A and B are shown apart, each in its own frame.
Chain A
Amino acid sequence: MIWALLCAHAVACIAIVALGDRAGRGVFGVAAVPAAITTVWAATLLGGDEAPTAQRQWVEGLDLSFTFAVGPLGALMTVIVSGIGFCVFVYSAGYFSAGTPGIARFGATLLAFSTAMVGLVWADSIWTLFIFWELTSITSFLLVGHKSTSAANRAAARRALLITVSGGLALLAGFVLVADSAGTARLSEMGAVDGTTATVAAVLVMCAAATKSAQVPFHVWLPGAMAAPTPVSAYLHSATMVKAGVLLVALASPVFADVSAWTPLGVAFGGVSVMWGAIGALRQHDAKLILAWGTISQLGLIITLLSVGSGKATFAAISIVTAHAIFKAALFMVVGEIDIRTGTRDIRELSGLHRTMPLTFAVAAVSAASMAGVPPLLGFPAKEAAVEAVLGLSGAEQWSVGVIVIAGSVLTVAYTTRFLLGVFATNGEATEVAAQRTAMTAPLAVLGALSLVGFIFLDQVTKIVKPAATQVNKKSDVYKLIQWPGLTDAFMISAGIVAVGLVVGVVVARRSGSTPRPLGARAVDSLIDAVLIGATRLTGRVQHGSLPVYVATMAATAALAATPFLWAIDTDALYKWDSPAQAVLAGLAVATAITAARVGSRLGAAVGLGGVGLAVSGLFVAHGAPDLALTQLLVETVVVVGFVIGLGHLARQFPPVGDLWRTVRIVVSAMAGIAVAVALAASASNPTGQPPLEAIAQEGVEDGGGNNLVNVILTDIRALDTLGEVVVLLVVAVGILALVRPQKADSAAPALDAEVTL
């Protein structure tokens, strides 16, 4: 069934691409089908003991596989992902108008994200999880930048991509270390690990989760991601993708239970995010940004609770995940609808919507109240569980987590109040509102109602949440969500939170300061720009385009590479010369070489090089190889003639060279020359083998059938090399022809043909 569902997603995706924009809003209908089927399937698993699995090897040697196991947590997450996905697809059909260009691309990408997300929540192998994790980052990038004609949107997409993928790389390293310590890649088989490796892995995994779940300081991509169309914000950036980090922390917490750094790190990330996110939400004027910052805060709360690791805290965390997905998706859809029907999301411009958009207001009020933790809504028992969890802790942990939960909740109530007042209250003249679109209203009404229904059927919710929490933490087994706890300490604290929060919210809502500047986002963008500028500077240094510098670099590198030869020269094994004539000729070669380098005229240098060649031919003669010497002489002659012809087109003198550069060139040349001499002396010092001269002499005559051994070598023993070099010459000839007679399309073809066949 797992494979079938994944295939259904893929088929629907391909169908949308095939249909293209001409299908208009129908693409969302196609996309909704696999989401609906998956939701129903996962709903049947909720609360049950059945955990379907599926496996397919990919690269066995690296333990890469597609391994899925849909446990209670997976089933719950699937219902959230696919269920909200279904609502979002329906909603999108209302959000977009029929003729929107790129609607099919949008639908296909959104469905691809949905596929990646279900793959992620089903994963039982860390590598399966990683694969889908990265896929969600990529699809998120594409969706954030969907309206790509705006430069700001493109920058936001790039920022989101870089932060989440950097997190992905931390995750990659962390997972390699985890697999190394635990000896398996299967999450279900992984025991607790400890030690230095495990600590490094834990830090890496936590950082990865923090990038995905937009925890401070990695949160800066999330507000920017609000550039995406609102269905994307509702789906990816509130209800599902940002929960991937939470899921990762949940799945990893039993593995890192023994790593002492795990809890403090998670509480630190979460705690700072709770506060900073809520403060951000209080400062924004764009309703969507208020919600986005609120998401940062809420995710911080969940991560704090999960990292604490007590049974009650885990239970509370999973409860909040569920409640949050429902109310946050609904709230985003509310904002999207307002945006479409009024043309603005700025709370300073909106007015009187509670009257003009009553249904939307009702949904918003219910969902916002759930977010604030007010009964009788699902958010209330979840928040109660969190407060209970704090009361169950002790010592410093109780204090730190307690401050985070209580202060965070107060601020949550405050920004919720401000949101409701800002968006819906009457504030001057009523905003004009366009006609209702059923496709948008229906899903948000359903999601709004769910917050209430969830509270009414709280026992059923407990039956779903408890096994999911128990999968993460065995000790969560004993807890349940309570509708009406009575006047317990926790309830009193909750009541206090709501009261204080309301006051703060009302006060803040009346003030309208200037819009805060996105400092974090700018910092990231300037970091990226700094990297780009640094790269440009570095490249300017390295890649300056001067051929002489490249040659000098290469010669110097080669000279350095020859350094080890210095230790291998065995002066006893070497002798000076076979005959003194060699010394004279060698001296001549060196002298002409130096002259060639020193003369200022090009012709003089060419003649000097010819002189080097002559001296070398002399060395061949002295060594008893007159035929080689003859060949060399011929080559030298041709080369000098070639130089003389070619030099006619150039200035007579070399261009002048600065002193420093001249010194560098002299030093590098000398180094290279010495290096070659040293290397040859070292190589000849203690050979470990001798050329098979006798065998060549014997077999060359017998099998090769020739007395001139050089000829036998060239034409028989190493005939392949000769063939190759002949082809080299031919190609050079062809190349020269091509350059001498530049082609003019096909008209010049016969001419070239004639030349080549000569």
Chain B
Amino acid sequence: MSTLIALIIVGPLLASAIGLVCGSRQRLRDVVTVGALAGATAMAAWLLAEVERNGTVVLRVGGWDPELGVVLVADLFAALILVVALATILVVEVYAIGQRFTAWGANPQLAGPLLLVLTTGVSLAILTGDLFTLFVGFELILVSSYVLLTHQGRRGQIRAGMTYVVMNLFASTLFLFGVAYIYAATGTVNMAYLAERVPELDQGARLGIGLWFLVVFGTKAAIFPLFSWLPDSYPTAPTTITAVFAGLLTKIGVYVIIRFHTLTGMEDLGPVILVVAGVTMLVGVAGALAQGDVKRILSFHIVSQIGYMLMGLGLFSVAGVAGAVLFLVHQIPIKTVLFLVGGLIEEETGTSSLDKAGGLVATAPFVALLFALPALSLAGLPPFSGFVAKLALVDAGISEVATPIVVVSLVASIFTLLSMAKIWLGVFWGSPREDTKPAPTAAHVGGHRLMMSSTALAVAGTLVIAVLAGPLWRMSERAATDLLSPEVYVEQVLQ
């Protein structure tokens, strides 16, 4: 079964290489890209089934002992997030093929292969049981996303890319410092050993390490006060690329925070994390309220929603962490879908500005439906997945008597709804503006259909998450139980 892990990492990388050298044979590139992503998703699903049935799967890369070499670990948490992440990227790629025929598309020669490199980075970051390999995974994600962000060479993109890359490289530097601290303090970068050795450290060193990595991973996750790079850079990229970024990159940051801070037993940091969570929710949603553009509103929501996942972690209870896990599972596709719909709005109206667009509910009712369902889910309204995730967190918060954060989370969700209503009022209601819409071409129509159907598929996927919320919650609870008892992880990796 550990072969699956290797294939999931290497497969997309190989496909990426093929994609880079197949030149103008675009169809071949599309087939290889979609094939690799579909294959990786299928294998991840298989891996999840296997992990669910028989427990954690560990791959010792090169057969080296965990003390020396790199291990890749698929426990329930990793396998679950991996499936959701890969499936999300797959849908976006299909959408991207459709969007190529429009003015908003990315350059197909680079976008596909780079997306595959990004996929490898994501898989590596999720699966790794080694702190330094995590760094490598982050580098892969960072560099491929930077190129994806800037490859069209538009002025705004280059400027935004600068903010993006400088902030993230700075975080990488801090990451390296952190690795140095950890290696000096424990003599290892293997996470299983870290789980044993970090809790034995002096209180000061332990908390220092915990806070330092909260800053490092928090920059990736875009928590307060480290999120500023995100809303400045994301809206400038082509829709598909922003959709992947929005759905995955920050969530990988959160994933790693949950992984690292539970494994190294950072319960003492719970209150700090809760404060950060609350401020992140409010500042993020305030940013969303202040914007007048669909993509910018959605970008700020990424920040706000990160706060919810941190809230679950900060409670450091099984219910809380399980809530965070479920929220993660819900949030990855929801965020991506909303950006894809943002792309459809641009398609229909020629703009994503609330002032310029309007009346889509009459001219494109299907797009309105595709927006409404995930938007309601984002705001945590029933009967969608966001409601289950929010309820789980509120429930966990109330059982831990963490009243302030519960109140903040509810207030933030009113504001979330207000900003979704803002989009609805601006884009879907009101009078349609016919003049802004570009004239479609034949290829455009076919591409448009592909974009529509892949978005519809993704929306259906988010509904499936809602329907399967019962089993997913059970899985989240099991994952959370394992996360809060690091000895399980240690035993599985080192045996």
Contact = CB atoms under 8 A, between A and B. Distances in A.
B470 A58 contact: yes
A718 interface: yes
A242 to B, nearest CB: 20
A218 to B, nearest CB: 14
B140 interface: yes
A51 interface: no
A161 B419 CA distance: 12
B208 A679 contact: yes
Contacts of A570: 202
Contacts of A61: 470, 473-474, 477
Given A134-B382, A699-B68, A727 B13 contact: yes
Contacts of B153: 738-739, 742-743
B177 A679 contact: yes
A554 interface: yes
Interface residues of B, number: 124
A601 interface: no
Contact of B287 (A169, A535, A685, A734): A535
Most chain B beta-carbon contacts within 10 A, residue among A679, A685, A719, A732: A679
B174 A558 contact: yes
Contacts of A148: 359, 361, 425, 428-430
A428 interface: no
A222 B214 CA distance: 47
B365 A105 contact: yes
B487 interface: no
A557 B143 contact: no
Interface of A is mostly: helix
A718 B398 contact: no
A725 interface: yes
Most chain B beta-carbon contacts within 10 A, residue among A105, A570, A689: A689
A550 interface: yes
B70 A718 contact: yes
A728 B133 CA distance: 13
B336 to A, nearest CB: 22
Nearest to A197: B398
B418 A567 contact: no
A158 B110 CA distance: 43
B110 A173 contact: no
Contact of B212 (A538, A562, A692, A723): A562
B137 A724 contact: yes
B21 A756 contact: yes
Most chain A beta-carbon contacts within 10 A, residue among B198, B291, B425: B425
A136 to B, nearest CB: 11
B21 A154 contact: no
A101 B187 contact: no
A207 B342 CA distance: 36
A78 to B, nearest CB: 20
Given A695-B65, A724-B140, A735-B146, A532 B290 contact: yes
Interface residues of A, number: 109
B485 interface: no
A565 B287 contact: no
A61 B319 CA distance: 10
B319 to A, nearest CB: 9
A746 to B, nearest CB: 7
Interface stretch (A26-34, A476-484, A488-496, A541-549): A541-549
Contact of A692 (B68, B198, B418): B68
Given A695-B67, A717-B68, A542 B151 contact: no
A188 interface: no
B398 A727 contact: no
Interface string A239-275: 0000000000000000000000000000000000000
Contacts of B120: 727
A177 B391 CA distance: 12
A565 B418 CA distance: 43
A535 B284 CA distance: 10
B186 A699 contact: no
B132 interface: yes
A597 interface: no
Given A149-B431, A154-B429, A689 B418 contact: no
Interface string A556-598: 0110011111111110000000000000000000000000000
B410 A172 contact: yes
B391 A692 contact: no
Given A683-B185, A684-B184, A551 B166 contact: yes
Nearest to A65: B470
Interface in B413-467: 413-415, 417-418, 421, 425, 428-431
B232 A543 contact: yes
A731 interface: yes
B139 A734 contact: no
B186 to A, nearest CB: 4
Interface stretch (B50-58, B223-231, B244-252): B223-231
Given A176-B398, A691-B187, A682 B137 contact: no
A679 B176 CA distance: 13
B283 A538 contact: yes
Contacts of A699: 64-65, 68
Contacts of A731: 114, 117, 140, 143-144, 147
Given A58-B469, A539-B287, A169 B413 contact: yes
B329 to A, nearest CB: 13
Contacts of B183: 691
A696 interface: yes
A454 interface: no
A507 interface: no
A735 to B, nearest CB: 3
Contact of B202 (A169, A173, A568, A692): A568
A553 B226 contact: yes
B394 A138 contact: no
Nearest to A175: B391
Contacts of A753: 21-24, 109
Most chain A beta-carbon contacts within 10 A, residue among B62, B163, B288: B62
B21 A757 contact: yes
Given A692-B68, A692-B187, A739-B153, A539 B290 contact: yes
A169 B380 CA distance: 10
Contacts of A176: 391, 394-395, 398
Contacts of A635: none
Nearest to B362: A102
Contacts of B151: 735, 738-739, 743
Given A528-B418, A676-B177, A699-B68, A568 B470 contact: no
Contacts of B22: 753
Most chain B beta-carbon contacts within 10 A, residue among A101, A172, A719: A172
Contacts of B163: 547, 550
Given A528-B418, A695-B68, A728-B143, A130 B382 contact: yes
Interface in A408-452: none
B204 A551 contact: no
12 contacts: A59-B469, A148-B429, A538-B286, A539-B283, A553-B226, A565-B205, A683-B181, A686-B202, A688-B198, A717-B69, A735-B146, A749-B24
Given A534-B286, A562-B211, A743-B151, 17 more contacts: A64-B470, A134-B381, A148-B361, A149-B429, A161-B421, A543-B231, A550-B163, A551-B167, A554-B226, A561-B214, A682-B185, A682-B208, A699-B68, A738-B147, A739-B150, A743-B153, A756-B21
A-B pairs with the 7 shortest C-beta distances? A568-B204, A148-B429, A735-B147, A753-B23, A567-B204, A724-B136, A561-B211
Interface of B: 9, 13, 20-24, 26, 61-62, 64-65, 67-70, 107, 109-110, 113-114, 117, 120-121, 124, 132-133, 136-137, 139-140, 143-144, 146-147, 150-153, 158, 162-163, 166-167, 170-171, 174, 177, 180-188, 193, 197-198, 200-209, 211-212, 214-215, 219, 225-226, 228-229, 231-232, 283, 285-291, 300, 359, 361-362, 365, 376, 381-383, 387-388, 391-392, 394-395, 398-399, 406, 410, 413-415, 417-418, 421, 425, 428-431, 469-470, 473-474, 477
